C-alpha cells in the first residue's frame, strides 16, 4: 500500500469506528454510556480550544470555562421560554463562537503583559467573575435567572427534527443521545481540522515562537499583542461553541456547571494528554470523561463484592484516585500520555 | 554615501544611572559600522533602544529618512532593522528551518482563514516561506541542519541560525550583538567571511563586538562608547590611535 491508500484506509477505519461506536457502546452498556460519549466529544472540543491558548501559545489560562459559560448562556437566553426567544441552533452557535471570542479578547487585552503564574491568577479571577455574574444577574432585571438557572431550553434541531427525540430510519430506532453523538463528533472533527490547519501555519508558528521566547518573537517582527489576542479569541470561540451545544443538549443551564473545578478538569485534559499535541489532547479529553464515569458506576458494586459493604463513598474515592493518577502521570510521563515528538525529547533530556 | 540610520541625542536612564547620554551617530548605507567600548559602556543598551526593546528617554532616531516609533520591536523589525542577541535567543524547541520561517512573519500575511482553508494564495505563500528559509540556511552555511531542533545545534551554528532568522525579515540594517562572543578562532574567521558576504550583498551591518581585532579588520567605521557617551567615531585606524579611546580601554593615561 502506498502512502495515500494508507491514509484513506486509516480515515475510513476511524470513520467506521466513530459511526458504529454509539451502537456498540449503547448495546453493550446501555444508553447512559452513549451520553458519556456525548460529553466526551463536548470536552474534546473544549480541550482543543484550551490547547490553542495553553499548548500552542503557552499562556496558562485557568478561567477557560468562562467561555463555555458564555456560549451556554447565550444559547439558553436565545432559545428558551425565559425571554420567549426561540432562535434556531444554526444561528446561535456561530453567534456564540463570536461572542465568546469577543470575551476572549476582553480577557486577553488587560493580561497581555502577564505570563505564567500571574496570568493564571488573573484568568482564574475572570472565570469566577463570569460565574458570579451568572449567579447574580437576576436582579434588578432578571437576565440569567440567578442560581436557579434557565430550564426548558430548546433542544438542538436539524431540519425541524429536534435531536432529543428518537427517529426511525428503515425500522431502525435511533435515540436522541445517538443523534447528539453524531452532531458532536462531526463538530469535534471540524475543530480538530481547524486546529491542525492552524498549527501548521504562519499563525501557528507565531504562537509557538511566543511560547518559546517572547522577546525573540517580537524581534522577528511578530506583533505579539495581536497574535496573543488571536489565540485567546480562537480558543474562546471553540469554548463558546461547546457551551452552546451543552445548553441545547442538557436543556438546562445553571452557574453550578461552570465552576473552577471545570476549568481545572479541562486543563488536566490538555496537560495529561500532551500539551500542544492534538491527538494527545483528544485522548486526554476522552479518558478524563469516561474513566471517572466508569469509576462512579463501578466503585460501589466492586466494594460490595469485595468487602460485602460499601466502605468508601464512591464520589470521594473517585477524587482521591483522580489525584493519585494525576501525580503518577506527572511523575512518570511529565510531557503527558501522548506528547508530540518534540516535547518527548525535551523531557527525556531534562531527566538524563 | 547616504545615511541609513541617524541617532540624535539618544539618552536612556535606569533609575539614577545614565546608561546612555546624548549619543549621536550616523550609519551609512552599505557599510559595516562597529560599536565598541568597555563592559557596561552602554553598547547593548543602545542596541535595545534602537530596536525598540527599551523606550528611550530623549533624542530621536531616523531610519531611512523617517522617525522610528518608540517601544515597539515588531514595528522596528518591519521598518527594516533586524537584530541578534548577545545571549542567543532562538526558539529552542523549533527546528532550524522553523526558526527562519518565523523570521518571515513580518513579510507575509496569511491569516486564520488562509490557514484553515488553505487558499491558493496561502499555499503559495507558505511554499515561498519554506523556500526562502532553506535558501537562508544555505546562505549562512547550515543547510544540512534544517530539520534539527535549534537547541541541538553547536554554538557557532546557533549564531549562524540567529543571523539567518534575522535576515529572513529582509532587513536594511542588520544589528549583531557580540556575534563572536564565545567563538573559537576558526568560528570567528568563518563569521568574518559571512559578515563580509553580507556587506557584498548590500546589507548594512551594525556590529557590537569585544574582539577588537575582528572589529578593526571588518568595520568601515567604528564608534566608541564609554560611560554611555560616544567618545570617538572614525575609521578603525584613527580610532585605534585616539588617546581618549586608549584611556577608556586601558584605564589611565598612556604616555
State which residue of chain A sits closest to B76, comparing Cα positions.
A221
- The answer as to whether B33 is a domain residue is yes
Query: Are the beta carbons of B73 and A204 separated by less than 8 Å?
Result: no
Asked which of B155, B189, B209 is the last residue of a domain, the reply is B155
pLDDT score of A135 more than 90: yes
Residues A188-236 have pLDDT tens digits of 999 999 999 999 899 999 999 999 999 999 999 999 999 999 999 999 9
Tell whether B52 and B175 lie within a shared domain: yes
Report the gap between the CA of B13 and the closest CA in chain A (Å): 21
Residues B10 and B73 in one domain: yes
Q: Between residues A4 and B102, which one has the greater pLDDT? A: B102
Contact A209 B102 (CB under 8 A): yes
Q: Is residue B126 within 8 angstroms of chain A, CB to CB?
A: yes
User: Is there a domain that residue B191 lies in?
Assistant: yes
What pLDDT band is residue A341 in, cutting at 50, 70 and 90? confident
B13 and B39 share one domain: yes
**Structural domain total, chain B:** 2
- Are the C-beta atoms of B132 and B81 separated by less than 8 Å? no
> What's the mean per-residue pLDDT of chain B?
90
In a domain, B59, yes or no: yes
pLDDT digits (tens, 9 = 90+) for B22-70: 999 999 999 999 999 888 888 889 989 998 888 888 888 999 888 887 6
Interface of A with B in 215-244 (CB under 8 A): 215-224, 230, 234
Determine, yes or no, domain membership for B46: yes
Note whether residue B106 is domain-resident: yes
Residues B73 and B103 occupy one common structural domain: no
Q: What pLDDT is attached to residue B150?
A: 94
Same domain, B202 and B236: yes
Contact A202 B108 (CB under 8 A): yes
ipTM of the complex: 0.91
Chain B partners within 8 Å of A342 (Cβ): 93, 149
In a domain, B162, yes or no: no
Is residue A295's pLDDT more than 90?
no
Q: Max Cα separation, chain B? A: 73
The whole domain housing B231 covers: 3-80+171-250
B184 and B74 co-located in one domain: yes
Query: Is there a contact between B77 and A217 if contact means CB atoms under 8 Å apart?
Result: no
Q: How many CB pairs under 8 A join A and B?
A: 105
Q: Mean pLDDT, to the nearest integer, of B162-173?
A: 95
Distances (CA, A) of B74 to A34, A39, A134, A279, A303: 50, 42, 40, 33, 62
By the CB < 8 Å criterion, does B102 face chain A? yes
| Cis peptide upstream of residue A304 (ω within 30 degrees of 0) | no
Same domain for B76 and B189, yes or no, is yes
Confidence band of B250 (pLDDT split at 50, 70, 90): low
Which of these ranges, A134-143, A196-205, A291-300, has the smallest mean pLDDT?
Answer: A291-300
B128 and B13 within one domain: no
From B155, B184, B205, the end of a domain falls on B155
Question: CB–CB of A219 and B82 under 8 A?
Answer: yes
Mean pLDDT of A242-251: 96
Q: Is the pLDDT of residue B255 over 50?
A: no
- What pLDDT does residue A307 have? 83
- Do B206 and B175 contact (CB within 8 A), yes or no? yes
B179 and B62: one domain? yes
Q: How far is B243 from chain A (nearest CA, A)?
A: 37
Of B91, B104, B117, the CB nearest to A208: B91
Give yes or no: residues B76 and B96 share one domain. Answer: no
Least confident of A39-48, A167-176, B111-120, B147-156: A167-176
What per-residue confidence (pLDDT) applies to A350?
61
Lowest average pLDDT, out of A184-193, A272-281, A303-312, goes to: A303-312
More confident residue, A278 or B252: A278
Between B70 and A132, the more confident residue is A132
Asked whether residue B204 is domain-assigned, the answer is yes
Residue A225's pLDDT is what? 92
Q: Are B20 and B10 in contact (CB under 8 A)?
A: yes
Confidence band for A6, pLDDT divided at 50, 70 and 90: confident
Mean pLDDT of the residues in chain A: 90
What does each C-alpha distance from A127 to A116, A123, A255 come to in angstroms? 17, 6, 11
Which residues of B fall within a CB distance of 8 Å from A232?
Answer: none
What CATH number should be reported for the domain holding residue B188? 3.40.50.300
Q: Which of A198, A215, A343 sits opposite B112 (nearest CB)?
A: A198
* pLDDT over threshold 90, residue A74: yes
8 A C-beta contact, residue A210 and residue A54: no
Of all residues in chain B, the percent with pLDDT exceeding 70 is 97
Residues whose CB is less than 8 angstroms from the CB of residue B9 and which lie 6 or more positions away in sequence, other chains included:
B22, B23, B24, B58, B59, B60
- In this structure, of A62-71, A185-194, A281-290, B11-20, the range with the lowest mean pLDDT score is B11-20
Same domain? B199 vs B134 = no
Partner-chain residue, chosen from B53, B102, B122, that has the shortest CB–CB distance to A220: B102
A348 band by pLDDT with thresholds 50, 70 and 90:
low
pLDDT tier at A81 (50, 70, 90 boundaries)? very high
Q: What is the pLDDT of residue B211?
A: 79
User: Please, which pLDDT band fits residue B251 given cuts at 50, 70 and 90?
Assistant: low
Question: For the segment B195-233, what is each residue's pLDDT rounded down to a tens digit?
Answer: 999 999 999 999 998 878 888 889 999 999 998 899 999
Given an 8 Å threshold on Cβ–Cβ distance, is B165 in contact with A342? Answer: no
**Mutate which of B47, B88, B89 to disrupt the A interface (most A C-beta within 10 Å)?**
B89
Q: Measure in Å the smallest separation between the Cα of B58 and chain A Cα atoms.
A: 22
Question: Is residue B96 predicted with pLDDT exceeding 70?
Answer: yes
pLDDT of residue B247: 85
Whether residue B166 lies inside any domain: the answer is no
Count Cα atoms within 13 angstroms, Cβ side, for B244: 14
Amino acid at each position: 500500500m502506498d502512502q495515500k491508500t494508507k491514509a484513506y484506509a486509516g480515515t475510513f477505519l476511524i470513520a467506521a469506528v466513530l459511526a458504529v461506536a454509539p451502537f456498540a457502546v449503547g448495546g453493550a452498556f446501555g444508553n447512559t454510556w452513549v451520553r458519556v460519549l456525548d460529553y466526551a466529544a463536548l470536552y474534546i472540543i473544549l480541550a482543543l480550544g484550551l490547547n490553542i491558548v495553553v499548548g500552542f501559545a503557552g499562556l496558562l489560562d485557568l478561567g477557560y470555562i468562562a467561555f463555555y459559560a458564555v456560549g451556554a448562556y447565550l444559547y439558553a437566553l436565545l432559545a428558551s421560554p425565559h425571554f420567549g426567544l426561540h432562535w434556531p441552533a444554526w444561528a446561535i452557535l456561530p453567534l456564540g463562537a463570536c461572542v465568546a471570542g469577543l470575551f476572549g479578547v476582553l480577557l486577553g487585552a488587560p493580561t497581555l503583559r502577564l505570563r505564567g503564574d500571574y496570568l493564571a491568577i488573573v484568568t482564574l479571577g475572570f472565570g469566577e467573575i463570569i460565574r458570579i455574574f451568572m449567579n447574580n444577574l437576576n436582579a434588578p432585571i432578571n437576565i440569567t435567572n440567578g442560581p436557579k438557572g434557565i430550564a426548558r431550553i430548546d433542544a438542538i434541531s436539524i431540519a425541524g427534527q429536534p435531536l432529543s427525540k428518537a427517529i426511525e430510519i428503515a425500522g431502525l430506532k435511533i435515540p436522541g443521545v445517538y443523534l447528539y453523538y453524531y452532531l458532536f463528533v462531526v463538530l469535534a472533527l471540524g475543530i480538530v481540522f481547524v486546529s491542525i490547519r492552524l498549527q501548521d501555519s504562519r499563525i501557528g508558528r507565531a504562537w509557538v515562537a511566543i511560547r518559546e521566547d517572547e522577546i525573540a518573537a517580537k524581534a522577528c517582527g511578530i506583533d505579539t499583542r495581536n497574535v496573543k489576542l488571536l489565540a485567546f479569541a480562537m480558543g474562546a470561540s471553540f469554548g463558546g461553541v461547546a457551551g452552546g451545544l451543552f445548553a441545547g443538549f442538557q436543556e438546562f443551564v445553571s452557574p453550578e456547571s461552570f465552576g473552577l473545578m471545570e476549568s481545572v478538569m479541562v486543563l488536566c485534559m490538555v496537560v495529561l494528554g500532551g500539551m500542544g499535541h492534538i491527538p494527545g489532547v483528544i485522548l486526554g479529553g476522552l479518558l478524563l470523561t469516561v474513566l471517572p464515569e466508569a469509576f462512579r458506576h463501578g466503585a460501589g458494586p466492586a466494594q460490595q463484592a469485595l468487602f460485602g459493604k460499601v466502605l468508601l463513598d464512591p464520589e470521594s474515592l473517585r477524587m482521591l484516585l483522580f489525584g493519585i493518577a494525576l501525580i503518577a502521570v506527572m511523575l512518570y510521563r511529565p510531557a503527558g500520555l501522548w506528547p508530540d515528538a518534540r516535547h518527548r525529547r525535551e523531557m527525556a533530556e531534562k531527566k538524563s | 554615501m547616504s545615511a541609513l540610520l541617524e541617532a540624535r541625542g539618544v539618552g536612556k536612564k535606569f533609575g539614577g544611572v545614565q546608561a546612555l547620554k546624548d549619543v549621536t551617530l550616523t550609519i551609512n548605507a552599505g557599510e559595516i559600522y562597529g560599536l565598541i567600548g568597555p563592559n557596561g559602556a552602554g553598547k547593548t543598551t543602545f542596541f535595545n533602544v534602537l530596536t525598540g526593546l527599551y523606550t528611550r528617554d530623549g533624542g530621536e532616531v531616523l531610519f531611512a529618512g523617517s522617525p522610528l516609533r518608540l517601544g515597539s520591536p515588531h514595528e522596528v523589525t518591519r521598518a527594516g532593522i533586524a537584530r541578534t542577541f548577545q545571549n542567543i535567543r532562538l526558539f529552542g524547541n523549533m527546528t532550524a528551518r522553523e526558526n527562519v520561517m518565523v523570521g518571515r512573519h513580518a513579510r507575509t500575511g496569511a491569516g486564520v482563514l488562509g490557514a484553515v482553508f488553505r487558499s491558493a494564495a496561502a499555499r503559495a505563500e507558505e511554499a515561498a516561506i519554506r523556500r526562502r528559509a532553506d535558501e537562508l540556511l544555505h546562505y549562512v552555511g547550515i543547510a544540512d541542519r534544517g530539520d534539527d531542533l535549534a537547541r541541538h545545534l553547536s554554538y557557532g551554528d546557533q549564531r549562524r541560525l540567529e543571523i539567518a532568522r534575522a535576515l529572513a525579515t529582509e532587513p536594511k540594517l542588520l544589528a549583531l550583538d557580540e556575534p563572536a562572543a564565545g567563538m573559537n578562532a576558526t568560528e570567528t574567521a568563518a563569521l568574518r567571511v559571512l559578515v563580509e558576504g553580507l556587506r557584498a550583498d548590500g546589507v548594512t551591518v551594525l556590529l557590537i563586538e569585544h574582539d577588537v581585532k575582528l572589529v578593526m579588520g571588518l568595520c568601515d567605521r567604528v564608534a566608541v562608547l564609554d560611560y554611555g557617551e560616544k567618545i570617538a567615531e572614525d575609521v578603525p585606524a584613527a580610532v585605534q590611535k585616539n588617546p581618549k579611546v586608549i584611556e577608556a580601554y586601558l584605564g589611565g593615561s598612556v604616555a
